[in-house]
Structure 1
């Protein structure tokens, strides 16, 4: 059995997302989410190593925007978040805490930030 390398709590959720890179917009669905990234399935292939803009679309109409890097390719992809605005980070934190097995552990993970939230919101 291999040792778990992830340092962030992950939650299993499913909702739509859009990944924009190299002038393309690829639709897909989130499958699991953490404060540092996500795993997803996409309608088209995404390419590893490419920086991208990710928009998460919740049923409530709320949209969260992140800048990330594609770390797993194909139609079964993964994105590592590089940065996001403060509002998106606050929503992400609340979402992960809500569905996490241990919300206190999620708070503890914030003692070692994975990146710095940006002051300016992402453009719509």
Structure 2
């Protein structure tokens, strides 16, 4: 797994290096916050790490949301279902599972399924 350095996940509004503390995904991000300046029509419900779409020219305004912080433990996690769940707020899978009774019953199965697939993935 990658080690967090001081410049990773620094929450710099102007960009830096994103590191998922669950899976180790490392990627350059261009913006941290709720309103990316390169896409005026978007406002996120959370502060998140955003990357300009590398497959579009500069004028397209497309973007990729890399991830954000777990509301419960503050770990930085990517959007992959094996790392986090967004349900009104972002939660890492460990915190979602630890607080599963706080979620509606219809979300319980999803949390258990994602956690089981993550456990299986890391055992191989």
Superposition TM-score tier, normalisation by shorter sequence: 0.3 to 0.5
- TM (norm. structure 1) is 0.32
User: Which structure has more strand as a fraction of its residues?
Assistant: 1
Asked which structure has the greater RCO (Cα within 8 Å, sep 6+), the reply is 1
- TM (norm. structure 2) is 0.32
Greater C-alpha Rg: 2
